[in-house]
């Protein structure tokens, strides 16, 4: 049997954050994670909020994080346009990383924080957390390991964890266990927590692509995020490396009931504004459902849940991951207070009392914003039935005109 003070199940951003925070407070932590060490995460959250960056400043990680992600001189503007390569409709301007260091003013310059938000995709963000956690003498990370079950009593928790390579099951004894095991959390279900809210809001096709020629086709200064609005297909494109890789979100409309309702390649080309001759490669793809769900329970005595295990909603602005990081920071100091002997166990009641209602509130706010954006997309005049179905047609004169390299340059609508 292995022993640790705190067992964290799940080695994503939230699990690593609470492990680092507890170790920073002098507490021994073991993290069990399904993936192999160094196995890259999915292309997910793209922004670390100011509040989260303040937490990482305290933990000694802010500088490392700011050095990761987009190139130092890449602008992190947000653009609305007829397509990525089409007509720009509006732009919110933000300075690049170098621009911030040089003191360039931005829309968020008046925020009273020493750590403004940082644009960095999870593919770059999570490895920085992992590398830092792996160096901490109080953190033990056990990869390729699945949590199976647990028992608890007044003295502590014993979790059964299975090595995915050997099949061997090892019990791990701990004072407290924290489930950071995602939206399908086994630990949430085992503590009796139920997701409450709206299980289906909108289907989304997400495609991570490699398109080296795309940057040269942009009409103006590059941006970090593009909201595309045109009669055929509205979507979002996000710069991942500031060079060749982009994540494309195709938001299905209410009349498109399944993920297969729309041809993926057709939708990507309409969002990019490129023709059939434009070449790109799919790195990975994922179909997902936008939801608004918050657990009605965040704790059972010595067992807690954080992050997506406790709440999931439409990923607008990175608030899902950042809410999980806030969960972690809140729970870490309470557990440390009990272990350190300067607070009674009753203080742990504050975790659910604080995080359950605030994540419920956040879920409502983010969903309201998402629904307004969905309404805006629906109000863009649509093309014919075949176009909506993803069937490519030769567009009538005056609708589209072919440009160089197979790009379609959109006219104003």
* pLDDT tens readout for residues 89-136: 999 999 898 888 888 887 777 888 889 899 999 999 999 999 999 999
Write down the residue that tokens 């640790």 correspond to.
Answer: 4
Please identify which residue in the block is written with the tokens 């690593």: 16
Whether the predicted pLDDT of 301 surpasses 60: yes
Average pLDDT, the chain: 89
| Number of helical (H) and strand (E) elements in the chain, helices listed first | 11, 22
Q: Report yes or no: 73 and 98 within 8 Å, Cβ to Cβ.
A: yes
How does residue 83 score in pLDDT terms, banded at 50, 70 and 90?
Answer: very high
CA distances from 256 to 17, 196, 291, 373, 389 (A): 38, 25, 17, 17, 8
Give the pLDDT confidence score for residue 351 in this predicted structure: 98
**Domains of the chain, with CATH numbers?**
2-70+120-194+296-370 (3.50.50.60), 76-119+200-292+385-413 (3.30.9.10)
Burial state string for 159-178 with b = 16 or more CB within 10 A and e = fewer than 16: bebbeeeeeeebebebbbbb
**Residue 103: both structure tokens together:** 């003191």
Segments of 57-127 assigned E as strands: 78-81, 88-92, 118-119
Q: Which residue has the tokens 């979100």?
A: 249
| CA-based nearest residue to 302, from 123, 127, 147, 150 | 150
Question: Could you report the per-residue pLDDT of 254-278, keeping only the tens digit for each?
Answer: 678 889 889 999 999 999 999 999 9
pLDDT at residue number 105? 83
Output DSSP code: residue 404: G
What pLDDT does residue 400 have? 31
Measured CA to CA, the distance from residue 286 to residue 288 in angstroms comes to: 6
Whether pLDDT at 395 is above 60: no
Task: Classify residue 162 by its DSSP letter.
Answer: E
322, 52 in Cβ contact below 8 A?
A: yes
Q: Which of 1-10, 361-370, 397-406 is predicted least confidently?
A: 397-406
Is residue 359 pLDDT above 60, yes or no? yes
412, pLDDT greater than 70: no
**What is the CA 203 to chain-centroid distance, rounded?**
16
Cβ-defined contacts of 50-53 (< 8 Å, 24+): 50/108, 50/111, 50/113, 50/115, 50/116, 50/117, 51/113, 51/322, 51/325, 51/326, 52/322, 52/325, 52/326, 53/113, 53/115, 53/116, 53/117, 53/118
pLDDT of residue 253: 78
Distance from CA of residue 400 to its chain's centroid?
35
Q: So what's the pLDDT on residue 104?
A: 86
% of the chain residues with pLDDT over 90: 74
Q: Which two tokens stand for residue 105?
A: 């003013």
pLDDT at residue 413 above 80? no
Give pLDDT tens digits for 71-80. Answer: 999 999 999 9
pLDDT at 385: 43
pTM: 0.89
| Most confidently predicted of 235-244, 375-384, 398-407 | 235-244
Distance between CA 159 and CA 173 in Å, rounded? 6
């Amino acid at each position: 049997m292995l022993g640790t003070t705190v067992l964290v199940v799940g080695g994503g951003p939230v699990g690593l954050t609470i492990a680092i925070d507890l170790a920073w407070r002098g507490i021994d932590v073991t993290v069990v994670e399904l993936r192999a060490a160094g196995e890259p995460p999915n292309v997910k959250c793209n922004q670390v909020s100011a509040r989260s960056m303040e937490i990482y400043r305290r933990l000694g990680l802010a500088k490392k994080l700011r050095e990761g992600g987009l190139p130092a001189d890449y602008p992190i503007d947000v653009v609305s346009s007829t397509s990525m390569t089409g007509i720009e409709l509006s732009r919110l301007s933000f300075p690049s990383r170098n621009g911030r260091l040089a003191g360039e003013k931005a829309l968020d310059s008046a925020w009273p924080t020493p750590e403004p938000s940082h644009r960095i995709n999870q593919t770059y963000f999570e490895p920085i957390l992992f590398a830092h956690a792996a160096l901490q003498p109080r953190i033990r990370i056990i990869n390729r390991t699945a949590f199976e079950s647990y028992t608890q009593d007044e003295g502590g928790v014993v979790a059964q964890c299975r090595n995915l390579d050997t099949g061997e099951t090892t019990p791990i004894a701990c004072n407290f266990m924290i489930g950071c095991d995602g939206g399908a959390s086994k630990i949430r279900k085992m503590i009796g927590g139920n997701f409450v809210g709206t299980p289906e809001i909108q289907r989304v096709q997400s495609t991570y692509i490699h398109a080296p020629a795309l940057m040269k086709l942009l009409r103006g200064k590059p941006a970090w995020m593009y909201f595309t609005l045109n009669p055929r297909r509205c979507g979002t494109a996000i710069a991942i490396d500031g060079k060749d890789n982009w994540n494309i979100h195709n938001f299905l409309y209410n009349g498109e009931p399944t993920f297969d309702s729309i041809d993926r390649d057709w939708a990507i080309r309409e969002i990019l504004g490129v023709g059939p001759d434009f070449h790109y490669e799919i790195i990975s793809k994922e179909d997902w459902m936008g939801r608004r769900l918050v657990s009605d329970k965040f704790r059972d005595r010595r067992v807690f849940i954080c992050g997506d295990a406790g709440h999931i909603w439409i990923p607008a602005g990175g608030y899902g991951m950042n809410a999980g990081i806030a969960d972690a920071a809140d729970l870490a100091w309470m557990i440390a207070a009990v272990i350190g002997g300067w607070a009674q166990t009753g203080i742990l009641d504050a975790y659910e009392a604080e995080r359950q209602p605030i994540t419920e509130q956040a879920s409502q706010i983010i969903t309201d914003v998402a629904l307004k954006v969905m309404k805006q997309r629906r109000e863009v005049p649509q093309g014919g039935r075949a176009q909506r179905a993803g069937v490519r047609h030769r567009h009538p004169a005056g609708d589209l005109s072919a440009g160089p390299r197979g790009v379609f340059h959109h006219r104003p609508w």
